[in-house]
């Protein structure tokens, strides 16, 4: 079974997609199905709305989340009332979402649920710490569409990334786009003691702060404007930018690559472990990519195993 053993090493794992319909929910179901839930206590939720049977945007069929007996799950009041399984309510929190308060329950039988958990990163963190009372070994978080914020190391220790034809129908672009994100996820830790100065994207970027320092901390987001300003100063000496984690980086791949080529460095204060990349070669508009070619090209580019979960399902089932 690929990467399941790896997942069991972490307390919290988020599953994030680079685009809608990249097979995120498939990946989650795949993982849940293979977790040893008989002796391993698992909780699952999603940030925002997920698990609807029809995709709200493209109206394509979406797999529901299948919960196994004994698993805990967090969802909204509305979806709790619509659940199709027998479950025991453990908590009704005061966190609210557009679909009511977030409730926590334990499945008393296997079945399908709609997951719509806490809607913000901080609420998600609070929900996760509220589970401390129930002896949970692993928390799985289904990230909402193209929101990488759930993968922030501040929230989850490790992540599974899903990408696919819905992100780009051209294998070359898909590989380039995905490997850019993987590069950001794998940015090295900041090893220095402290930064020489701190700047933010809102600061006046013509200041001496950039010119006179080589190790620069970035408060908040790293934007194109900020990166360009630092890049312009690379001629005069080495520069290392220190960001909190990869989810704070909002720069274009081209600018990032040219900054690195010129000798610039970016490091992070917090890092989450990328466990695996899953691909879905089918796009909602009907385009189907060659799964084997996609997996091998992407794997070669990022140096990590890549799985087509739908295609490989039979192969790994036992």
Partner 1 sequence: MTFKEIIDSPCGIRYCFDLLELQSGYARKYLLDSRMMTTAEEIEEAYASLDKFTSLVEREPSLIQNLQFRLQGLRNIYNTLTSLEEGSALDDIELFEIKHLALLGDEVKQLFSRAEISNVWTNFDLDNIIRILDPDGLKIGTFYVYDSYSMEVRKLRRELESDPDNEELKDRLINEEERIKRVLCNLLRPYATELTNLLHSLAELDIVISKAIQRKKESFTIPEVGNSSSFEGLFHPEVKSILAQKGKVFQKVAFRYKLGEPGIIIGANMGGKTVALKSLCLCQYLFQFGFAVPALKAEMVPVENIVFCFGDDQDQQKGLSSFAAEMLRIDRMIEMVESGAKTLALVDEPARTTNPTEGSALVSSLLRILTDCSNLSLILTTHYNVDSSARCWRVKGLVEDIEGSDRLKMDYSLTESADNEVPHEALNIARKLGVSSRWLDEATKILDTQ
313 binds partner 1 (CB under 8 A): no
Residue 106 found at the interface with partner 1 (CB under 8 A): yes
Of 10-18, 106-114, 171-179, 280-288, the segment contacting partner 1 by CB under 8 A is: 106-114
The residues near 102 (Cβ < 8 Å, ≥ 6 apart) are: 45, 74, 75, 76, 93, 95, 96, 117, 118, 123, 127
Between 88 and 194, whose beta carbon lies closer to partner 1?
88
Q: Does 109 bind partner 1 (CB under 8 A)?
A: yes
C-alpha 268/C-alpha 271 separation (Å) is 7
Say whether residue 103 binds partner 1 (CB under 8 A). Answer: yes
Residue whose CB is less far from partner 1, 105 or 144: 105
SS3 (DSSP) at 61: strand
* Residue 92 sits in the site that holds partner 1 (CB under 8 A): yes
Q: Minimal distance in Å, beta carbon 100 to partner 1?
A: 9
CA nearest to 141, candidates 133, 131, 151 = 151
Give the contact letters, 69-88, x = binds to partner 1 (CB under 8 A), - = no: --------x--xx----xxx
Q: Round to whole Å and give the CA distance between 226 and 217.
A: 12
Cα–Cα distance, 24 to 17 (Å, whole number): 6
* Cα–Cα distance measured from residue 306 to residue 93, given in angstroms and rounded to the nearest whole number: 38
Q: Are strands 42-46 and 87-97 parallel, antiparallel or unpaired?
A: unpaired
Q: Which is nearer to partner 1, 96 or 186 (CB)?
A: 96
98 interacts with partner 1 by CB under 8 A = no
Residues of this chain that bind partner 1 (CB under 8 A) = 77, 80-81, 86-90, 92, 94, 103, 106, 108-109
């Amino acid at each position: 079974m690929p990467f399941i053993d790896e997942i069991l090493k972490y307390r919290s794992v988020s599953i994030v997609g680079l685009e809608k319909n990249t097979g995120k929910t498939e990946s989650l179901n795949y993982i849940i199905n293979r977790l040893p839930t008989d002796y391993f206590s698992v909780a699952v939720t999603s940030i925002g709305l997920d698990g609807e049977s029809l995709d709200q945007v493209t109206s394509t069929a979406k797999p529901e989340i299948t919960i196994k007996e004994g698993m805990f799950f967090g969802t909204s009041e509305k979806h709790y009332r619509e659940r199709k399984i027998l479950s025991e309510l453990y908590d009704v929190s005061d966190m609210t979402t557009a679909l009511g308060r977030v409730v926590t329950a334990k499945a008393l039988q296997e079945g399908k649920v709609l997951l719509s958990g806490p809607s913000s990163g901080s609420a998600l963190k609070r929900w996760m710490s509220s589970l401390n009372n129930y002896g949970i070994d692993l928390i799985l978080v289904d990230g909402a569409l193209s929101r990488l914020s759930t993968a922030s190391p501040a929230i989850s220790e490790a992540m599974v990334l899903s990408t696919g034809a819905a992100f780009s129908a051209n294998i070359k672009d898909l590989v380039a786009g995905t490997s850019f994100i993987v590069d950001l996820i794998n940015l090295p830790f900041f090893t220095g003691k402290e930064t020489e100065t701190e700047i933010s994207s809102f600061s006046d970027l013509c200041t001496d702060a950039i010119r006179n320092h080589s190790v620069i901390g970035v408060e908040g987001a790293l934007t194109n404007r900020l990166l360009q300003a630092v890049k312009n100063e690379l001629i005069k000496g080495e520069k290392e930018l220190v960001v909190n984690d990869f989810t704070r980086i909002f720069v274009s791949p081209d600018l990032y690559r040219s900054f690195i080529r010129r000798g610039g460095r970016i490091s992070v204060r917090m890092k989450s472990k990328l466990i695996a990349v899953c691909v879905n070669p089918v796009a909602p508009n009907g385009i189907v990519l060659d799964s084997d070619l996609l997996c091998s090209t992407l794997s070669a580019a990022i140096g990590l195993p890549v799985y087509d979960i739908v295609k490989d399902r039979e192969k790994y089932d036992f």
